Amino acid sequence: MAVEMSASRLLAPYFGDSLFIWANLIGLILIYLTAGYWLGGRIADRWPRPRLLYSLTLAAAAASAVVPFVAKPIMSLAIQGIAQVSAGAFLGSFGVTVLLFSLPVTILGTVAPFAIRLSMTRVENAGNVSGGLYALSTIGSILGTFLPVFLLIPWIGTRDTMLAFAAVLAGISAAGLGRWLGA
């Protein structure tokens, strides 16, 4: 959610913040998450290793951290390329959202099914395990919605908010990798 909230701020100066732009952003983010859930389930069943999960989250952190640095040049090019098209803002925001956010968000989508697979010890506990992980995920989404919008973006800006969330994810990933690499 922090990526999505920050993405809206990155897109707004170039494409506006109309309902069409938000539809692009939300719809595409949901597509990336769907792909990540599917991919994460397949990967987790094939290679159910915590080390791989932490490697994926570290890759997502790196991909998220790159976005604020490449966003301006990509969006500037998109604006120039679609200036003559009547649906320019819609098409431009669509293309930019694909380029900037498909990789980090798809990788982040792999986390939920992977975490469920790694947490399952017995099928009799599937409801409890998945319910607990989805509750934790929703708490993260709530924090990822409110912290950027009400605190971090106004205080440190969009770029640094994205970098802060990427750094937290990288830190958690590195700690997890360190734990499992040492085992």
137-169 pLDDT per residue, tens:
999 999 999 999 999 999 999 999 999 999 999
- The string of pLDDT tens digits covering residues 115-144 is 999 999 888 998 999 999 999 999 999 999
- What integer pLDDT is reported at residue 15 of this predicted model? 85
**pLDDT (0 to 100) of residue 84:** 60
pTM: 0.88
Residues in Cβ contact with 63 at an 8 Å cutoff, skipping those fewer than 6 apart: 103, 104, 107
Question: pLDDT grade, residue 180 (50/70/90)?
Answer: confident
User: How far is 53 from 58, CA to CA, in rounded Å?
Assistant: 9
Model confidence pLDDT, tens digit, residues 91-107: 788 888 888 999 999 99
Question: What is the tally of structural domains in the chain?
Answer: 1
Q: Which domain holds residue 36?
A: 2-181
pLDDT in tens, 26-54: 999 999 999 999 999 999 999 999 999 99
For all residues of the chain together, what is the average pLDDT? 90
Give the helix/strand (H/E) hosting 171: helix 158-181
Q: Where are the alpha helices (DSSP H) in 19-125?
A: 19-46, 50-82, 88-109, 111-119
User: pLDDT band at residue 80, thresholds of 50, 70 and 90?
Assistant: confident
Three-state DSSP class for residue 130: helix
Q: Chain centroid to CA 152: how far?
A: 17
| CA 5/CA 141 separation, integer angstroms | 11
